[in-house]
Amino acid sequence: MQLERILHRHGFGTRKECRALIRAGRVAVAGQVCADPFGEFATAGLVFSVDGVAWPYLESATLMLHKPAGYECSRQPRHHPSVFELLPPPLRARGVQPIGRLDEDTTGLLLFTDDGQLNHQLSSGKRQVAKVYLATTKHPLDVGQIERLRSGVLLADESTPIAAAAAVMLDPHRLRLTLTEGKYHQVKRMLAAVGNRVVALHREAVGGLALPADLAPGQWRWLTPADLACLGGNG
Protein backbone atom coordinates (compact mmCIF):
# COMPACT_ATOMS: atom_id res chain seq x y z
CA MET A 1 0.00 0.00 0.00
CA GLN A 2 1.24 3.51 -0.75
CA LEU A 3 2.59 5.39 2.26
CA GLU A 4 0.25 8.34 1.77
CA ARG A 5 -2.74 5.98 1.84
CA ILE A 6 -1.45 4.35 5.03
CA LEU A 7 -1.28 7.72 6.79
CA HIS A 8 -4.64 8.78 5.42
CA ARG A 9 -6.32 5.60 6.70
CA HIS A 10 -4.83 6.20 10.14
CA GLY A 11 -6.23 9.70 10.53
CA PHE A 12 -3.26 11.89 9.68
CA GLY A 13 -5.22 14.19 7.39
CA THR A 14 -6.28 14.44 3.78
CA ARG A 15 -4.24 12.70 1.12
CA LYS A 16 -2.65 16.07 0.30
CA GLU A 17 -1.78 16.70 3.95
CA CYS A 18 -0.31 13.21 4.26
CA ARG A 19 1.87 13.74 1.19
CA ALA A 20 3.14 16.99 2.74
CA LEU A 21 4.01 15.21 6.00
CA ILE A 22 5.98 12.58 4.13
CA ARG A 23 7.81 15.02 1.86
CA ALA A 24 8.77 17.08 4.91
CA GLY A 25 10.72 14.08 6.25
CA ARG A 26 8.43 13.61 9.24
CA VAL A 27 7.53 9.99 8.49
CA ALA A 28 9.69 6.93 8.98
CA VAL A 29 9.11 3.25 8.26
CA ALA A 30 11.12 0.64 10.18
CA GLY A 31 13.23 3.47 11.56
CA GLN A 32 14.14 4.90 8.15
CA VAL A 33 12.79 8.25 6.96
CA CYS A 34 10.76 7.85 3.79
CA ALA A 35 10.18 11.00 1.73
CA ASP A 36 8.28 9.28 -1.08
CA PRO A 37 4.50 9.47 -0.55
CA PHE A 38 3.97 6.81 -3.19
CA GLY A 39 6.40 4.28 -1.75
CA GLU A 40 4.79 0.85 -1.46
CA PHE A 41 4.85 -1.10 1.80
CA ALA A 42 3.43 -4.42 2.93
CA THR A 43 1.02 -3.72 5.77
CA ALA A 44 1.40 -6.97 7.71
CA GLY A 45 3.29 -6.11 10.90
CA LEU A 46 4.06 -2.63 9.60
CA VAL A 47 5.06 0.05 12.12
CA PHE A 48 5.53 3.61 10.93
CA SER A 49 6.27 6.76 12.88
CA VAL A 50 5.20 10.36 12.51
CA ASP A 51 7.31 12.97 14.29
CA GLY A 52 8.98 10.17 16.23
CA VAL A 53 5.74 8.61 17.52
CA ALA A 54 5.32 4.98 16.47
CA TRP A 55 2.03 3.72 15.03
CA PRO A 56 1.23 0.11 14.11
CA TYR A 57 -0.74 -0.43 10.92
CA LEU A 58 -4.20 -1.56 12.03
CA GLU A 59 -7.19 -2.27 9.82
CA SER A 60 -9.35 -1.52 12.85
CA ALA A 61 -8.37 0.58 15.83
CA THR A 62 -9.47 -0.85 19.18
CA LEU A 63 -8.09 0.48 22.44
CA MET A 64 -8.70 0.91 26.14
CA LEU A 65 -8.66 4.09 28.18
CA HIS A 66 -8.45 4.49 31.94
CA LYS A 67 -11.19 7.09 32.19
CA PRO A 68 -10.74 9.66 34.94
CA ALA A 69 -13.63 11.47 36.59
CA GLY A 70 -14.75 14.74 35.05
CA TYR A 71 -15.00 13.64 31.40
CA GLU A 72 -18.09 13.03 29.28
CA CYS A 73 -18.31 10.16 26.77
CA SER A 74 -19.42 12.44 23.95
CA ARG A 75 -17.86 14.32 21.05
CA GLN A 76 -20.13 17.22 21.95
CA PRO A 77 -20.00 17.40 25.76
CA ARG A 78 -22.35 19.72 27.61
CA HIS A 79 -20.76 20.40 30.97
CA HIS A 80 -17.32 18.73 31.10
CA PRO A 81 -14.41 17.95 28.76
CA SER A 82 -14.80 15.09 26.30
CA VAL A 83 -13.00 11.80 26.77
CA PHE A 84 -11.88 12.23 23.16
CA GLU A 85 -9.54 14.98 24.36
CA LEU A 86 -7.54 12.22 26.07
CA LEU A 87 -6.87 10.50 22.72
CA PRO A 88 -4.39 11.66 20.06
CA PRO A 89 -5.85 13.52 17.04
CA PRO A 90 -5.28 10.67 14.53
CA LEU A 91 -7.48 8.33 16.58
CA ARG A 92 -10.20 10.93 16.82
CA ALA A 93 -9.95 11.60 13.08
CA ARG A 94 -10.34 7.94 12.12
CA GLY A 95 -13.61 7.81 14.01
CA VAL A 96 -13.15 5.62 17.08
CA GLN A 97 -16.26 5.49 19.28
CA PRO A 98 -16.75 4.37 22.89
CA ILE A 99 -18.10 0.87 23.37
CA GLY A 100 -20.82 1.80 25.80
CA ARG A 101 -20.50 4.85 28.02
CA LEU A 102 -19.45 5.82 31.52
CA ASP A 103 -20.99 8.70 33.42
CA GLU A 104 -18.95 11.87 33.92
CA ASP A 105 -18.16 10.92 37.53
CA THR A 106 -17.47 7.23 36.82
CA THR A 107 -13.87 6.08 36.37
CA GLY A 108 -12.20 2.99 34.97
CA LEU A 109 -12.11 0.83 31.87
CA LEU A 110 -13.55 2.42 28.73
CA LEU A 111 -13.13 0.75 25.34
CA PHE A 112 -13.04 2.46 21.94
CA THR A 113 -13.14 1.08 18.40
CA ASP A 114 -13.82 2.08 14.81
CA ASP A 115 -15.07 -1.45 14.13
CA GLY A 116 -18.85 -1.02 14.06
CA GLN A 117 -19.54 -4.75 14.21
CA LEU A 118 -17.37 -5.22 17.30
CA ASN A 119 -18.99 -2.21 18.95
CA HIS A 120 -22.44 -3.65 18.32
CA GLN A 121 -21.45 -7.09 19.58
CA LEU A 122 -20.07 -5.79 22.86
CA SER A 123 -22.81 -3.19 23.39
CA SER A 124 -25.76 -5.46 22.67
CA GLY A 125 -27.69 -6.59 25.73
CA LYS A 126 -28.34 -9.91 23.98
CA ARG A 127 -24.65 -10.79 24.25
CA GLN A 128 -24.74 -10.27 28.04
CA VAL A 129 -21.11 -9.17 28.22
CA ALA A 130 -20.28 -8.84 31.92
CA LYS A 131 -19.18 -5.47 33.31
CA VAL A 132 -17.60 -5.42 36.75
CA TYR A 133 -17.91 -2.31 38.92
CA LEU A 134 -16.50 -1.28 42.28
CA ALA A 135 -19.12 0.89 43.97
CA THR A 136 -18.65 3.00 47.08
CA THR A 137 -21.87 3.75 48.93
CA LYS A 138 -23.01 6.62 51.15
CA HIS A 139 -24.75 4.39 53.68
CA PRO A 140 -23.48 1.12 55.16
CA LEU A 141 -24.34 -1.98 53.18
CA ASP A 142 -26.07 -4.97 54.71
CA VAL A 143 -26.77 -8.55 53.78
CA GLY A 144 -30.35 -7.74 52.84
CA GLN A 145 -29.27 -5.18 50.26
CA ILE A 146 -26.79 -7.60 48.71
CA GLU A 147 -29.41 -10.35 48.52
CA ARG A 148 -31.89 -7.99 46.85
CA LEU A 149 -29.31 -6.97 44.26
CA ARG A 150 -28.68 -10.64 43.49
CA SER A 151 -32.35 -11.60 43.33
CA GLY A 152 -33.46 -8.55 41.34
CA VAL A 153 -34.85 -5.06 41.86
CA LEU A 154 -37.51 -3.25 39.86
CA LEU A 155 -36.29 -0.01 38.32
CA ALA A 156 -38.46 2.82 37.06
CA ASP A 157 -39.51 2.36 33.41
CA GLU A 158 -38.70 -1.38 33.59
CA SER A 159 -41.40 -4.04 33.54
CA THR A 160 -39.39 -6.84 35.13
CA PRO A 161 -36.84 -6.93 37.96
CA ILE A 162 -33.16 -6.70 37.07
CA ALA A 163 -30.64 -8.79 38.98
CA ALA A 164 -26.88 -8.47 39.31
CA ALA A 165 -24.92 -11.41 37.93
CA ALA A 166 -22.82 -11.12 41.11
CA ALA A 167 -22.71 -8.85 44.14
CA VAL A 168 -19.98 -9.12 46.77
CA MET A 169 -19.68 -6.83 49.79
CA LEU A 170 -16.02 -5.93 50.33
CA ASP A 171 -16.53 -3.76 53.41
CA PRO A 172 -19.44 -1.79 54.90
CA HIS A 173 -19.25 0.87 52.17
CA ARG A 174 -17.86 -0.99 49.14
CA LEU A 175 -19.17 -3.75 46.90
CA ARG A 176 -18.16 -5.38 43.64
CA LEU A 177 -21.11 -5.62 41.28
CA THR A 178 -21.23 -7.59 38.03
CA LEU A 179 -23.91 -6.64 35.47
CA THR A 180 -24.75 -8.09 32.07
CA GLU A 181 -27.18 -5.39 30.92
CA GLY A 182 -26.38 -1.84 29.91
CA LYS A 183 -29.25 0.12 31.41
CA TYR A 184 -28.99 3.87 31.89
CA HIS A 185 -27.32 4.69 35.26
CA GLN A 186 -27.90 1.05 36.15
CA VAL A 187 -25.55 0.69 39.13
CA LYS A 188 -26.74 3.93 40.70
CA ARG A 189 -30.40 3.08 40.14
CA MET A 190 -30.02 -0.44 41.52
CA LEU A 191 -28.34 0.80 44.69
CA ALA A 192 -31.01 3.47 45.07
CA ALA A 193 -33.67 0.77 44.72
CA VAL A 194 -32.29 -1.03 47.79
CA GLY A 195 -32.15 2.17 49.83
CA ASN A 196 -28.56 3.22 49.34
CA ARG A 197 -26.62 5.73 47.24
CA VAL A 198 -23.48 5.49 45.10
CA VAL A 199 -20.86 8.12 45.90
CA ALA A 200 -18.05 6.68 43.72
CA LEU A 201 -18.09 4.19 40.85
CA HIS A 202 -15.21 2.50 39.06
CA ARG A 203 -15.42 -0.05 36.21
CA GLU A 204 -12.81 -2.73 36.73
CA ALA A 205 -13.46 -5.08 33.80
CA VAL A 206 -15.45 -5.80 30.65
CA GLY A 207 -15.90 -9.47 29.79
CA GLY A 208 -12.67 -11.17 30.71
CA LEU A 209 -10.62 -7.99 30.18
CA ALA A 210 -9.56 -6.16 33.34
CA LEU A 211 -8.16 -2.65 33.57
CA PRO A 212 -4.37 -3.06 33.89
CA ALA A 213 -2.91 -1.87 37.19
CA ASP A 214 -0.16 0.02 35.36
CA LEU A 215 -2.51 2.06 33.15
CA ALA A 216 -2.84 5.42 34.91
CA PRO A 217 -5.97 7.59 34.74
CA GLY A 218 -6.07 9.42 31.41
CA GLN A 219 -3.76 6.93 29.67
CA TRP A 220 -4.70 4.64 26.79
CA ARG A 221 -3.24 1.61 25.02
CA TRP A 222 -4.02 -0.63 22.06
CA LEU A 223 -5.90 -3.85 22.63
CA THR A 224 -3.87 -6.91 21.74
CA PRO A 225 -5.30 -10.01 20.02
CA ALA A 226 -5.29 -11.66 23.46
CA ASP A 227 -7.30 -8.74 24.88
CA LEU A 228 -9.83 -9.05 22.06
CA ALA A 229 -10.12 -12.77 22.73
CA CYS A 230 -10.99 -11.97 26.36
CA LEU A 231 -13.82 -9.78 25.04
CA GLY A 232 -14.98 -12.35 22.53
CA GLY A 233 -13.88 -10.16 19.62
CA ASN A 234 -11.72 -11.03 16.66
CA GLY A 235 -8.01 -10.49 16.89
Q: Label the pairing between strands 198-206 and 106-113.
A: parallel
Instruction: Answer yes or no: 103 catalytic.
Output: yes
Characterise 30 by phi-psi region: left (phi > 0), alpha (psi -120 to 50), beta (else). Answer: left
Separation of alpha carbons 198 and 6, rounded Å = 46
Q: Which of 103, 105, 114, 227 is catalytic?
A: 103
Separation of alpha carbons 141 and 73, rounded Å = 30
CB within 8 A of 58, min separation 6: which ones? 10, 222
Task: Write out the catalytic residue numbers.
Answer: 103
